[in-house]
């Protein structure tokens, strides 16, 4: 399977939904089904306890005969986590996570961010997109190349205590075999100085965040 797109119940912009391609497999978590149905799009699977989904959208799921799984409100994982588990079972080439940030529940937003660590254990690439922010997890040893595009800033935020052997080429603020420490803001707000830049880490885990002001 090419790609699975998971739409969580946080804020989803029209630009986010425009990233969906015709051959994507769509899974929604709880209220994540609402913006999809509003655009006339149908998920292949809807999951959640649906405690934040408006009743008329639940009726639409039934009327349109969209497969859905109702989860108990009391459970050990969030609706988004369950949706990602279903995505992983499909063994896609990659996962795109939308609607995982924003809204009033910062605890859910932070939990969704750290779900990238869990997904990394499956070796399936996953990118979280929210508005003008694109986030992935880098696990060393690895080297990636990022293009400038519409991105204004690139930040590296450690998940592990240290990220060792960080080398940045083609950036405004280059690094050579540096160490990033969790809780220290050295890796925040860098910029690509050329058309593309190269990021290498030798050991550790960090979020790679591509952001734009507008």
Q: How many CB atoms lie within 10 A of CB 28?
A: 34
Q: What pLDDT, on a 0 to 100 scale, did the predictor assign at position 150?
A: 63
Check whether 104 has a pLDDT greater than 80.
no
Task: State both tokens at 34.
Answer: 């609402």
More confident residue, 112 or 147: 112
Arithmetic mean of pLDDT, 56-85? 95
User: For the chain, what is the mean pLDDT?
Assistant: 94
Give the Cα separation of 66 and 137 in Å (integer): 32
Cα 73 from chain centroid (whole Å): 24
- CB atoms near residue 147 (< 10 Å): 12
Residue 103 confidence class, pLDDT cut points 50, 70, 90: confident
Three-class secondary structure of residue 113 per DSSP: helix
Least trusted range by pLDDT, from 28-32, 69-73, 82-86, 103-107: 103-107
Fold observed for domain 136-211: Rossmann fold (3.40.50)
Mean pLDDT value across residues 68-82? 95
What token pair was written down for 116? Answer: 């990238």
Contact 154, 210 (CB under 8 A): yes
Q: What is the pLDDT of residue 152?
A: 83
For the cut 90, the answer to whether the pLDDT of residue 188 exceeds it is: yes
Considering 108-112, 150-154, 164-168, the range whose residues carry the highest mean pLDDT is 164-168
Alpha-carbon 12 to chain mean position: 12
pLDDT tens profile 137-155: 999 999 999 988 766 899 9
Q: How far apart are CA 30 and CA 79, in angstroms?
A: 7
Please spell the DSSP secondary structure of 52-104, one letter per residue: SS-HHHHHHHHHTT--EEEPPSS-SS-HHHHHHHHHHHT--SEEEEES-S-SS
Checking if the pLDDT of 194 tops 90, the result is no
- Give the tens place of pLDDT for each residue, 35-62: 999 999 999 999 999 999 999 999 999 9
The values of phi and psi at residue 136, to 5°, are: -135, 170
The percent of residues in the chain predicted with pLDDT above 90, rounded, is: 90
What is the mean predicted confidence (pLDDT) over 71-94? 96
Q: Please write down the long-range contacts of 173-181, taking CB distance under 8 Å and 24 or more positions apart.
A: 177/202, 180/156, 180/204, 180/206
CATH 3.40.50.10240 range(s) for the chain read 3-131, 136-211
β-pair type (133-139, 205-211): antiparallel
Residues 99-117 have a mean pLDDT of: 91
Say if strands 153-158 and 205-211 run parallel, antiparallel, or are unpaired. Answer: antiparallel
Fold observed for domain 3-131: Rossmann fold (3.40.50)
User: Which of helix, strand or coil describes residue 149?
Assistant: coil
Q: What share of the chain is helix, strand, coil (3-state, %, to 5)?
A: 20, 35, 40
């Amino acid at each position: 399977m090419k790609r699975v797109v998971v739409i969580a119940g946080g804020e989803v912009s029209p630009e986010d939904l425009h990233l969906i391609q015709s051959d994507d497999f769509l899974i929604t978590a709880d209220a994540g089904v609402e913006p999809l149905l509003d655009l006339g799009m149908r998920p292949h699977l809807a999951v959640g306890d649906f405690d934040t989904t408006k009743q008329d959208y639940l009726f639409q799921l039934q009327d349109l005969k969209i497969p859905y799984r109702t989860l108990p409100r009391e459970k050990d994982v969030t609706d988004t986590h369950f949706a990602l588990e279903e995505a992983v079972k499909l063994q896609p080439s990659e996962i795109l996570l939308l609607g995982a940030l924003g809204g009033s529940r910062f605890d859910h937003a932070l939990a969704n961010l750290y779900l990238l660590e869990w997904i990394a254990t499956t070796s399936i690439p996953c990118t979280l997109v929210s508005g003008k922010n694109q986030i992935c997890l880098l696990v060393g040893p690895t080297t990636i190349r990022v293009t400038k595009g519409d991105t204004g800033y690139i930040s590296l935020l450690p998940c592990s205590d240290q990220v060792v052997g960080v080398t940045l080429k083609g950036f405004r603020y280059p690094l050579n075999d540096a160490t990033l420490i969790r809780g220290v803001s050295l890796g925040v707000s860098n910029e690509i100085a050329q058309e593309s830049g190269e990021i290498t880490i030798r050991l550790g885990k960090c979020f790679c965040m591509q952001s734009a002001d507008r």
